[in-house]
Each structure stands twice: as C-alpha cells, then as structure tokens.
Amino acid sequence: MKSILELDNVSYSYHSLDGETSALQNISFTVASGEFIAIVGPSGCGKSTLLSLISGLIKPETGSILINGTENNAGNTNIGYMLQKDHLFEWRTVYSNVTLGLEIQHKLTPERLTKVDQMLETYGLAGFTKQRPSELSGGMRQRAALIRTLAMEPDLLLLDEPFSALDYQTRLEVCDDIATIIKRERKTAILVTHDLSEAISVGNRVIILSKRPGTIQRIVPISFSIPDCTPMQSRNAKEFQEYFNTIWKELNHHE
C-alpha cells in the first residue's frame, strides 16, 4: 500500500539557556495510507515533539520527514490536528464552527459544503447545526471538532491525547465514536496517548517509545479475530489482554 508518511532517522533536541535537551533520537517508521498508528511511551519521552515534527511546526535536527514524498515546508502539506481541547468557539453556531477552517482558507465550495452536510447527517449532528457548542455533550463537541478537521480533507490526522480531558465512561464512547469515523472516512491517523487500552483498541500498530531521549523501542502490529470490530468491541477480543501485557512489560522492563 502507498505510504503517506516516511520518517528516516529523525532526531530532535531543544536548546535553552540551561543547555540542550535531547528529545528524540533515530526515529524511523513509515505509515501506509489508511493506517491508524498509536504512539505510547513514558511521560516526557517526546511524543508531542514527534507530532510537532510531523506537522512541520518544528524541523528535525537530523534525518528527514516526507509526507506523500514531499518535505513539509511552509505548510505545503495538508495535516489535520485534534487536541485535548476541542477549540470550538461559543460565539459561533455549530455549523459555522465546523466550516471555520474552510472559511479561513477560502474553500467554502459547494462540493466541500455538501461533504460537511453529509458528515453532519451521518454522525448525528444535523439537528444541532444552529446550536452553540455549550448546548452539545462532550462527545458531540469532539465529533463537531473532528468534522471541522475532516472538512479540510487532510492527508494525515494527528491526534494528541484528544480524549484525556473526558471522564472514563465518556472517554470510552468518544474514542470509539471518533476512531470509527476516522476509519469509515478511510483517513490515515496517528494518535498519541498514555492509555494503553486506547492505543490497542484503535491502532493497526502501536509504536512504543523508550524514555527520553525517545527512541523506537518496539512496534507491535495489532489484529483481532473479531472481523471489522469497533474499538469498543476489540476490547472484548481474546487477543486484547495479550497485547496489553506485551506492551505493559515493554514499557516497564527498564524500571
């Protein structure tokens, strides 16, 4: 399958008056079109730094990052970002929030708006377009934020702990919802999370980073015997606990 993202030997250090902090070292992996990658690792190992590098916000010190075969210079690639906060604006309706990105980029074309309407319909928000974000549940807000991101038709979606502000029950439902939408829309996504169960339930592969400076400790391919299972259903698959134990041991074997 065509690869969307290629990282080759990427390293990055932060420089400050106190000196140099090596955040990531020798990171190489590729992501195929339509894959869902989950990245886990100890706090401070460089997970957010890795997403910033992929998005082009910061440049690698060594190595290269190619998106669709091109270096991500000056935002020439189309990357969607979903963060812990949904950043919906209360002074705008739900509809004018989900079309905000298109408005800013002057892409409010009939084709794009039709696609937005279809997504609002399919993902249960069509009846809420005139509402304000505060009138939506936490899950609906995240769905609206995702539709706003998908409206831009990104080649790659980066998700940085997008569910960690939610309580456990809501988190399970929203994660299931969002991951199912991303798979259904056949998007390529990279999720950073500290929740191993979340990583295993959504990822086609889980990349385990070592403690700082983050290196790739292991990449675990995930597949379940339940065909076409949703993230929630995968938690009941017999392989789930095995994956959990493997990744847990891998993360803790240096301690």
Tokens of 3: 């690869």
- Residue 233 is classified by DSSP as H
When asked if residue 44 is in the footprint of ligand ADP (CB under 6 A), the reply is: yes
CA 84 to chain centre: 11
- Residue 210 is classified by DSSP as P
Cα(50)–Cα(171) distance, integer angstroms: 24
Tokens of 72: 């991500």
When asked if residue 45 is in the footprint of ligand ADP (CB under 6 A), the reply is: yes
When asked if residue 46 is in the footprint of ligand ADP (CB under 6 A), the reply is: yes
CB of 212: closest distance to ligand ADP in angstroms?
Answer: 5
Cα(192)–Cα(166) distance, integer angstroms: 16
When asked if residue 48 is in the footprint of ligand ADP (CB under 6 A), the reply is: yes
- Residue 68 is classified by DSSP as T
Q: Which stretch binds ligand ADP (CB under 6 A): 13-21, 120-128, 143-151, 238-246?
A: 13-21
When asked if residue 21 is in the footprint of ligand ADP (CB under 6 A), the reply is: yes
Binding mask 192-231 for ligand ADP (x = CB under 6 A): --------------------x-------------------
Dihedral pair phi/psi, residue 125, rounded to 5°: -115, 5
When asked if residue 47 is in the footprint of ligand ADP (CB under 6 A), the reply is: yes
Which residues sit at the interface with ligand ADP, rule CB under 6 A? 14, 16, 21, 23, 41, 43-49, 212
